[in-house]
Amino acid sequence: MRNTARWAAALGLTAAAVCGPLTGAAVAAPGAAPSSLYAPSALVLTTGHGSDAATATPERAVTLSCAPAASGTHPAAAQACAELRGAGGDFDALKPADGVMCTKVYDPVVVTVQGVWQGKRVAYERTFGNACMKQVLGGSVFEF
């Protein structure tokens, strides 16, 4: 009798842990669209000094989510999302800033992007000659 009570208690606790409590359980509304694990456009961008991501220590990282609205820790999220949309999500196609001159001092800066852009996995890395070139060639997307 004692073992049966223990098993019943264990099964009850397991069911509560797995299924949640029987009262007040949340139920999806009929016709509700299924949600995915990841947002359609959510990115993590990092930057650091070095010639490649394998040897550079990340000095700064920001998040950028562009759907349903621009958000994240990126300092210019709305502008960065607009530029990415304009480039079709292609980081190499970002338009450089007009009229900005940079020195030719070589102090490499590497930028990485990981995440999802419009439902597709993104893994991007680019090394710029210096911080000025990163800002000129990367637009608002890489200004953080």
Q: What are the pLDDT digits (tens) for 64-93?
A: 999 888 999 999 999 999 999 999 999 999
Residue 64 lies in a domain: yes
Residue 12 domain flag: no
Domain count across the chain:
1
Q: Is residue 89 part of a domain?
A: yes
Burial grade of 127 (CB within 10 A; 0-12, 13-18, 19 or more)? middle
* pLDDT, position 139: 84
Asked if residue 32 is part of any domain, the answer here is: no
Does pTM surpass 0.85?
A: no
Q: Mean pLDDT across the stretch 84-112?
A: 91
Residue 60 belongs to some domain of the structure: yes
Answer whether residue 2 is part of any domain.
Answer: no
| Spatial distance between the Cα atoms of 96 and 112, rounded to a whole number of angstroms | 18
| CATH number of the domain to which 85 belongs | 3.30.350.10
Domain assignment of residue 31, yes or no: no
Interval 9-39: pLDDT, tens: 333 333 333 334 444 444 444 554 555 554 5
Q: What is the CA radius of gyration of the chain?
A: 23
Mean pLDDT score of the chain: 78
Predicted confidence (pLDDT) per residue in 30-63, tens digit: 554 555 554 578 999 999 999 999 999 899 999 9
- Where in the sequence is the domain holding 109, given as residue range(s)? 42-142
| pLDDT score of 7 | 38
Establish if 109 belongs to a structural domain.
yes
